[in-house]
Amino acid sequence: MKVLQHGQKHSVEFTLNGEEVEGFAEPRMLLSDFLRHEIGATGTHVGCEHGVCGACTVMMDGKAVRSCLTLAHQAEGREIRTIEGLETPDHEFNDLQQAFHENFALQCGYCTPGMLMTLSELASTGKRYTEAEVRDALSGNICRCTGYKEIVDAAMAVLGDKGQVAAE
């Protein structure tokens, strides 16, 4: 086992939004910082650095995780998907993004990437969800601008009983 000295960086390789990436990180560097500062994926926001607000949510191997609680080296060999990876191959909004747009589900937009990544995990199942299930899934995502109604409405338009669920 290689022991790194303080300040020494190590290589980190993973798949980011379908493309292989490599960078260098100190042992205690957070995935959120690695994505933003080493890779340039600035759509992943950092709000609290304690895993409470959900703004930094990304998908790791299909599961929503808080990138501010995940070390960069934990992404080694994994599939990471960020907000930049949600668009369609034609560079259009995906169904959730379009629903957010149509339902006015954002104001300042700071929390939006985390909300969309959390909801993307639900969308990937292809199942329909109740409003209570959507609210429960979003309970770890804080929005200081809205009352959540428009966010839930947007989610239900895609994920709810009457929505058009498209597995991502």
CA distance readout (Å), 78 to 12, 24, 140: 10, 16, 23
Contact 153, 103 (CB under 8 A): yes
The residue extents of the domains of the chain are: 10-84, 95-159
Contact 43, 97 (CB under 8 A): no
Q: pLDDT truncated to tens, each residue of the chain (168 aa)?
A: 566 666 789 999 999 999 999 999 999 999 999 999 999 999 999 998 898 899 999 999 999 999 999 999 999 999 999 999 999 989 999 999 999 999 999 889 999 999 999 999 999 999 999 999 999 999 999 998 888 999 999 999 999 976 555 544
Residue 76 token pair: 């080694």
Superfamily holding 10-84: Beta-grasp domain (3.10.20.30)
Provide the CATH number for the domain formed by 95-159 in this structure: 1.10.150.120
